Amino acid sequence: MFKPLGDRVVIELLETEEKTASGIVLPDTAKEKPQEGKVVAVGNGRVLDSGERVPVEVKVGDRIIFSKYSGTEVKYEGKEYLILRESDILAVVE
């Protein structure tokens, strides 16, 4: 697999159907459409001006909602992944 740098995370895209497994339905009309994904790799976090490194708030396995159109798509062994910055993640589905 691959290890993202800094505050980046790698996620598997989850198809956002009319009604997803976790029960989230995304409105068609949202200007900035959120999407769902599952975290598969997490970076070491960003470094503050104080020199401290802040761990990323999500962990491998978390289902997350992120802003559509954010991140970079990568294919690896036939599967599609997205590399996001932590700041593009809106929430963790519990």
Min. distance of Cβ 60 from its own copies in angstroms? Answer: 14
Say which DSSP state 31 is in: S
Is residue 59 at the binding interface for its own copies, with CB under 8 A as the rule? Answer: no
Hey, what are 21's tokens? Answer: 């497994």
- CB of 72 within 8 A of CB of 65? no
Nearer to its own copies, 15 or 94 (CB): 94
Say which DSSP state 88 is in: G
Query: Residue 22 in 3-state DSSP?
Result: coil
Is residue 12 at the binding interface for its own copies, with CB under 8 A as the rule? Answer: no
Is residue 15 at the binding interface for its own copies, with CB under 8 A as the rule? Answer: no
CA distance 25 to 46: 32
Is residue 74 at the binding interface for its own copies, with CB under 8 A as the rule? Answer: yes
Query: Residue 42 in 3-state DSSP?
Result: strand
Which residues of the shown chain bind its own copies in the complex (CB under 8 A)? 1-6, 8, 10, 23-27, 30, 32, 34, 41, 44, 47-52, 54, 57-58, 65, 67, 72-78, 80, 83, 86-87, 89-94
